Amino acid sequence: MKPAELMLLLIAFIRTRWGFRFRDRASLERWQNKQLARFIGGRLRNAAFYSACTARNITTLPIVDKAITLAQFSAFNTLGVSLEDATNAALVAERSLDKAAAVETGWTAGLSSGTQGPRGVFLASARERATWAGILVARTLDRDLLKDILLRRAPLRVAFFLRANSALYTTLKSRRIDFRFFDLQRGAFAHVDALTQFEPDVLVAPASVLAWLAGESLAGRAAISPRKIISVAEVLEPDDEHRIRLAFHQPVHQLYQCTEGFLAYTCAEGALHLNEEFVHIEPEWIDESHTRFRPVITDFTRRTQMFVRYRLDDILRVRAEPCACGRFTRALAAIDGRLDDVLWFPTTDHTRLLPLFPDVLRHTFARNANDVADYRIEQQGDTLHLAVTGNDAVFDAIKLAVDKLAISQGMEPLPWLRVEMQEPRPAAKRRRIVCVARPLAFSVRIPDDA
Ligand SMILES: [Zn+2]
């Protein structure tokens, strides 16, 4: 890292750590609106898609999504880099990260690890990467770990389990931070010995990998005792969280970081806060009680790639109680998954479909299926395919609980099919609840009572 970039990292760190003191939510929003106005009237227009934009107010800009921004990729970045060039650069970077530094082009590209649809691509300048690293360190490392970085003779050891290495994360690699990447394409089990030898201070991995490592640790096969555990890239399921806490005696922190930006993090009080000091997040409510929303994000700090009124497919659930940490940014109860994790049931009069949200389903499973080690529920039109570890009694208990839940919400239960639990591919993102296809509204069969 060049001295100028290190400086940017430090500035971002200090500002994130000790700046941004707001009196209340209203003052945070006023400050945010000022940043947005400056961004929309200035840097945004350097991207071709917005060059003729006369809007001053965010709400008058068009809402975009992954399909639109990938189709017109070069118009959404200020360097005019094409999707093909960015993708090629990202693939080269993925392969060469551990060997030599990527070719210095002034920008870095990376690919998302998503398994659904086309992969997302990000572009960032060296400056942006440095700033991002400063924000990340400020948001994730507590005082003791920071003290270690500064004062301990040995560097801080950070173990990172990812589906693909990312130039973004290796920005943090330095004399003070020993950053080790563990490639999930090879399967988590292939790394246990190396991980044990590495003795990570900080362990970062998808929730299902953390839970698996916790199981190995509890069984005495992985002697590690990380001081900070960070879950990324997958929904943190309640049973996994419980097992990770049990094994490592540490709370599980979450980092909601994707191609589109650094969107949320767990604070010292354990609440998951939106990163609203850097990203404007409009809630698009998906339920009547305004507890779940789809985020429409605008990153007003970017200079290279623009994510402006960009609609994500995720479902975020708001936390009802305020957080004691003193921040006025919105706190989340959870990231519940993607929009296609919602199952759809017909109403009892078969006139329309109603959503059954994944958090409600998870809660039902947690309450009624204590002995289930793992499950997967998949909606295939008007049939629910369920794979569970356990005997028929377990399957029947879950079936009954979900049917009851549906009836209590004015829905018609759907027929079930028990299917085999599939062994997941090593690097596959785990999704326990998936709607492959919604029922065709008028072809819904009434389940047979017989
Ligand atoms: Zn908090």
| Ligand 1: centre distance to CA 324 (Å) | 6
| Ligand 1: centre distance to CA 271 (Å) | 5
| Ligand 1: centre distance to CA 358 (Å) | 24
Q: In the predicted model, is pLDDT for residue 446 greater than 60?
A: no
**pLDDT at residue 2, rounded to an integer:** 83
- Residue-wise pLDDT for 432-444, tens only, equals 899 999 988 645 4
Dihedral over Cα of 118, 123, 129, 132: its sign: negative
| Ligand 1: centre distance to CA 371 (Å) | 33
Q: In the predicted model, is pLDDT for residue 72 greater than 90?
A: yes
**pLDDT at residue 115, rounded to an integer:** 57
Rounded-to-integer distance, Cα 125 and Cα 389, Å: 47
Rounded-to-integer distance, Cα 24 and Cα 34, Å: 16
Query: Confidence band (pLDDT; 50, 70, 90) for 56?
Result: confident
Q: In the predicted model, is pLDDT for residue 104 greater than 70?
A: no
| Ligand 1: centre distance to CA 21 (Å) | 13
> What are the boundaries of each domain within the chain?
3-339, 342-437
Give the tokens for residue 282: 């409009």
| Ligand 1: centre distance to CA 408 (Å) | 34
**pLDDT at residue 163, rounded to an integer:** 77
Average pLDDT estimate for 373-387: 92
Average pLDDT estimate for 269-287: 96
| Ligand 1: centre distance to CA 325 (Å) | 4
Q: In the predicted model, is pLDDT for residue 177 greater than 50?
A: yes
| Ligand 1: centre distance to CA 22 (Å) | 14
**pLDDT at residue 450, rounded to an integer:** 36
**pLDDT at residue 116, rounded to an integer:** 63
Q: In the predicted model, is pLDDT for residue 25 greater than 50?
A: yes
Average pLDDT estimate for 299-324: 95
**pLDDT at residue 215, rounded to an integer:** 93
- Residue-wise pLDDT for 206-259, tens only, equals 999 999 999 999 999 999 999 999 999 889 988 899 999 999 999 999 999 888
| Ligand 1: centre distance to CA 328 (Å) | 8
| Ligand 1: centre distance to CA 289 (Å) | 23
Give the tokens for residue 376: 């997967």
Instruction: Transcribe 305-374 into DSSP letters.
Output: B---SEEPSEEEEE-SSPPTT---SPEEEEEEEEGGG-EEEEBTTSSSEEEE-HHHHHHHHHHH-TT-S-
Q: In the predicted model, is pLDDT for residue 144 greater than 80?
A: yes
Please answer whether residues 314 and 337 qualify as being in contact, where contact means their C-beta atoms are separated by less than 8 angstroms: yes
What's this model's pTM, rounded to 2 decimal places? 0.89
| Ligand 1: centre distance to CA 332 (Å) | 10
**pLDDT at residue 430, rounded to an integer:** 83
| Ligand 1: centre distance to CA 115 (Å) | 31
Number of helices followed by number of strands (H, E) in the chain: 12, 20
Query: Confidence band (pLDDT; 50, 70, 90) for 278?
Result: very high
- CB-facing half-sphere around the CA of 213: CA atoms within 13 A: 34
| Ligand 1: centre distance to CA 319 (Å) | 11
Q: Which CATH number is 3-339 given?
A: 3.40.50.12780
Neighbours of ion ligand 1 (CB under 5 A): 267, 269, 271, 323, 325
Q: In the predicted model, is pLDDT for residue 170 greater than 80?
A: no
| Ligand 1: centre distance to CA 145 (Å) | 19
Write down the mean pLDDT value for the chain. Answer: 89
Protein fold of 342-437: GMP Synthetase; Chain A, domain 3 (3.30.300)
Range of lowest pLDDT (23-27, 173-177, 355-359, 365-369) = 365-369
Query: Confidence band (pLDDT; 50, 70, 90) for 99?
Result: very low
3-class DSSP state of 390: coil
| Ligand 1: centre distance to CA 255 (Å) | 14
Give the tokens for residue 56: 């001053």
- Residue-wise pLDDT for 387-420, tens only, equals 988 888 889 989 999 999 999 989 999 999 999 9
Q: In the predicted model, is pLDDT for residue 98 greater than 90?
A: no
| Ligand 1: centre distance to CA 275 (Å) | 11
Give the tokens for residue 270: 């354990």
Q: In the predicted model, is pLDDT for residue 349 greater than 80?
A: yes
